[in-house]
Amino acid sequence: MSRPSDNEARRIFVRTFGCQMNRYDSERLVEILGGQQFVAVEDYRKADLIFINTCSVRDKAEQKAFSYLGRLKTLKSNRPELVVAFGGCVAQQYGEELLVRWPHLDLVVGTHSISKVPAMLARYEVTGERQAWVDFSYDFGDEPDGRSQLWKPEVSAYVTIMRGCDNFCTYCIVPMVRGRERSRPSGEIIREVESLIECGVREVTLLGQNVNSYGQGVSGEVDFAGLLQRVAQVEGLLRIRFTTSHPKDLSSTLMRSFADLPQLCPHIHLPVQSGSDYILQRMNRGYTRDHYLRLVKELREMRQDVGVSSDMIVGFPGESEEDFRLSLRLLEEVRFDGLFSFKYSDRPQTAARLLDGKVEEEVKLERLQRLQALQEQITLEKNEAQVGQTTLVLVEGPSQIGGSQLSGRTPQNRVVNFKGSPHLVGEEIHILITIAHAHSLEGVVCLEENVNLKIAKEKSWCGR
């Protein structure tokens, strides 16, 4: 695929909200439209097509998407030829009614319809017809196989290995907006990883709402541990990560992969959601607090340096102060390396919406603050324990903190900032950790340990 020259190209601006699945879909969209003479731009005011990829996991996320859409009204009335498209989970949830509610919106693109965008655009350009495409018709293979030109050069890339979710946790809207769980054929995944390596990628993160159930019910397909083994055989791949794991499906075989596969980073994101069995049961999570603690113990026995991060919800319907304290205690017992925590938010079509015992907003806020304060202290202590240690960092690019700082991540997924030459981007190098912050580390390049590093003078990246 060749890149269109600037005078023939149309420009797309994508704003992505939500999880890595949405980011992956946005990347695929830009790549698909790259074949239709589109180039991605950083300034939405210069775009011919603005695509908003939305998240509906909590009410706040949904409101953010609508407020972004609302802000485009003036731009669209000044430039009627601009195409405004709304995609992702909120688009899937409301479908066609969005076209009625938002007269400046042209296209509604559901979670299964990314590959339909070129056809929708073509029709819009010929007929001017505003359209919504939100049926669950997606199949793997609908998009071009492999990745020939990346949106942006990246050291680390996402690869979707499954879509949808069948777990129906009672608080969660994802199964309603992403549809039933489907595993992507492993051959397709491997081809995509190989094509990413050719584009200069060194690390892949395999994505799914519950990667542990990969391949279940597909005859002749490998399971997730088997998939990891196949991905690890791809030549040139330095690091493998995956997310998200569901504790109810985390098998010992899979845990053993951390010991067996050198490319597999010792980090697992294992959302626990609550430390109370009563709440876990009301959430339909399918495991107990004890089971979760046993999993963490086994993981640490399997690979002593494994980093464990998690998600937690506070103020789920029926959560008493005592239930909440069990969550705090779980944090103290596990000592997560990182935690994402959220106030429970009622979502349409979910079972929890109908549960009694709703917790008041100020109680939820107060619990969230207590939980986050405790975790901040734990994360900082764990980061401080890194000071004086030397660790392997995969260099991803310039640091957000600016200057001549570069940024990368440790195998356990800690962010490390340090001074270094831009030629180090894409290399795995030894860094001595010197300073710990709450959310990142600082370090210096260890000259002695890196003597054998041979850096290609001219790196070629697809998309550059």
Select 18 or 315, whichever has its Cβ closest to ligand F3S.
Answer: 18
Q: What are phi and psi of 197, to 5 degrees?
A: -60, -40
Choose from ligand F3S, ligand SF4, ligand SAH, none: what does 419 bind? Cβ within 5-8 Å by kind: none
170 binds, among ligand SAH, ligand F3S, ligand SF4, none (CB under 5 to 8 A by kind): none
Q: Binding to ligand SAH by residue 58, rule CB under 6 A? A: yes
The smaller minimum CB distance to ligand F3S, of residues 57 and 162, is found at 57
Cβ(50)–Cβ(15) under 8 Å?
A: yes
Choosing from 29, 32, 57, 65, the residue that interacts with ligand SAH (CB under 6 A) is: 57
Amino acid 393 reads V
Please check whether residue 214 is in contact with residue 161, taking contact to mean a CB–CB distance below 8 angstroms. yes
Asked whether position 172 contacts ligand SAH by CB under 6 A, the answer is yes
Please tell me the distance from the alpha carbon of residue 344 to that of residue 271, in angstroms, as a whole number: 15
By beta-carbon proximity to ligand SF4, the closer residue of 284 and 405 is 284
Site residues, ligand SF4 (CB under 6 A): 165, 167-169, 172, 174-175, 209-210, 246
User: Does 22 sit near ligand SAH (CB under 6 A)?
Assistant: no
3-state class of 432 per DSSP? strand
Give DSSP secondary structure letters for 312-378: EEES-TT--HHHHHHHHHHHHHH--SEEEEEE----TT-GGGG-S-PPPHHHHHHHHHHHHHHHHHH
CB-nearer residue toward ligand SF4: 48 or 277: 277
Q: Does 170 bind ligand SAH (CB under 6 A)?
A: no
**Dihedral sign from CA coordinates of 151, 157, 159, 160:** negative
At 418 the three-state DSSP class reads: strand
Q: Which CB atom, from 48 or from 346, has the smaller least distance to ligand SF4? A: 346
The CA-based dihedral angle spanning residues 372, 378, 383, 386, taken in that order and rounded to the nearest 10 degrees: -170
Contacts with ligand F3S, residue ranges (CB under 6 A): 18-19, 21-22, 55-57, 88-89, 173-174, 177-178
**Rounded distance, CA 372 to CA 324, Å?**
13
Q: What are phi and psi of 261, to 5 degrees?
A: -105, 110
Pairwise CA distance, residues 4 & 12, whole Å: 13
CB 68 → ligand SF4: shortest distance, Å?
Answer: 23
Nearer to ligand SAH, 20 or 36 (CB): 20
Minimum Å gap between C-beta 350 and ligand SAH is 7
Using the rule CB under 6 A, is 246 a contact of ligand SAH?
yes
C-beta closer to ligand SF4: residue 168 or 297: 168
Residues from 247 through 286 that contact ligand SAH (CB under 6 A): 271, 273
Residue selected from 51, 94, 344, 418 as contacting ligand SAH according to rule CB under 6 A = 344
Q: How far is the CB of 87 from ligand SF4 (least distance, A)?
A: 19
* Chain center to CA of 402: 24
Out of ligand SF4, ligand SAH, ligand F3S, none, what residue 56 binds, judged by CB under 5 to 8 A for its kind, is ligand F3S
How many alpha carbons lie under 13 Å from residue 153 in its C-beta half-sphere? Answer: 14
Q: Does the protein bind ligand SAH through residue 221 (CB under 6 A)? A: no
Residues in the chain: 464
Asked if 359 is part of the footprint of ligand SAH (rule: CB under 6 A), the reply reads: no
Size of the site for ligand SAH (CB under 6 A): 17
Q: Which residue carries 């001549």 as its tokens?
A: 404
